[in-house]
Each structure stands twice: as structure tokens, then as C-alpha cells.
Amino acid sequence: MKRTKKERQQLLCDTIEQNPFVTDEQLASQFGVSVQTIRLDRMELSIPELRERIKDVASRNYENEVKSLPLDEVIGEIIDIELDQRAISIFDVRTEHVFQRNGIARGHHLFAQANSLAVAVINDELALTVKSNVVFLKPVKLGDRVVTKALVRGQHNEKNRTYIDVVSTVNNSTVFKGEFEMYRTKGVGEENETSN
């Protein structure tokens, strides 16, 4: 169905408002137009590019929430977090993240995204990785968007440890899994006791 420019731009606004993380490529496919048309529509409507939208959402929502490291030290962009429970980040693989001869992402970038998310989800001023067990399941390529989810599996207050499972996906296909044992300076719940 052919839409007028005005109709398309209204739908574009509605779509981005519902999902600020939608890419120009996805929008072009959805509306049956070129990526360049979407970019021109966004410029006319003063809608920032995806990277800026992600940063805006992250800074508005999570800047004061993450305690264990500055938000700009997280690899990828945090799009959801509930301290000591769960967190999600996205990481777009660009030229500087891949091997030039084959366009496959270097593993340390995927590990860094997972590890920094495991640190960020800890509700403490200091969180350090004690050990990790990771598996790379599929190659990640230039242009892929890696969605990483961290889920706190358990705590051991006497040892000041938190155990976190991390899974990274590209287009809903799992590419990386990790189990992280994290050190924290306080046990869970101690933050409230000391501040009262």
C-alpha cells in the first residue's frame, strides 16, 4: 500500500516512539522505501539517528542508577536495568570491532560487553570479576546488533559474591553465553542497613 509522505512520516514517528531502538534499515523495510528516504524523513522530523536515541534513553533512565562503573565505561548501550536482578545492553558491530580479512567480530568485544554488563547490574560501588566461564557459539559479523542480557542467578553474602548468567543474541539466535562470578564489597541488603 502506497502512503503519502505525511502518512509515512507520522507512522515513522509512532514507530520510533514505541521502539526507539529500531534501525533505519528495519524502518525502510517496514515502509517499503529506501534507507535514504528514512534518513531524510528523520532529518525533516528532527529525529536523531539510532546511536543518539540509544544514548538519550540510557542517560535519562540509567545514569544515576548504575553504581559500579560510569555508564560510558559499559561496552554497548544499556537499554534496561534493575540492579541486582537483570540488565540488557545492545552493541552494534562496526569496522573497528572486526577482523578486516573476514568481517567477523573479535571475541574480546563480545566478552567486554557481557563482562561490563555483569559489573553494571551489581548494586555496589565496587564490583569485580572473580572468574568467568564463556562459550562463543556462532560468529558475529560486521553490521550485526548484539543484544546481551544479564540475569542475576544468586548471591553468597558471606563471600560477597554474586553469580550472573549472560546470554548474547543476534537476530534472536544465541551467539555467546557466559557465567560470571562477581565480587562486591557488600552483601545484598547491606546497603540499606548501613544507610539507615
pLDDT digits (tens, 9 = 90+) for 67-118: 666 666 788 888 888 888 999 999 999 999 999 999 999 999 999 999 999 9
- Residue 59 DSSP class: H
Mean pLDDT within 131-150: 95
pTM comes to 0.68
Q: What domains can you pick out in the chain, each with its CATH number?
A: 5-47 (1.10.10.10), 67-186 (3.10.129.10)
Which among 108, 126, 77 is positioned nearest to 178, based on CA atoms?
108
**Helix locations, the chain, DSSP H:** 5-18, 24-31, 35-44, 50-62, 107-120, 190-195
pLDDT tens-place string over residues 12-62: 888 888 777 788 888 888 899 998 998 899 888 888 887 777 666 655 555
Which amino acid, residue 7?
E
Sign, CA torsion 70/75/78/82: negative
**8 Å CB contact between 105 and 98:** yes
CA angle 35, 37, 38 (to 5 degrees): 65
Q: At what angle do helices 5-18 and 24-31 cross, to 10 degrees?
A: 130
Would you place residue 148 in the very low, low, confident or very high pLDDT band (cuts 50, 70, 90)? very high
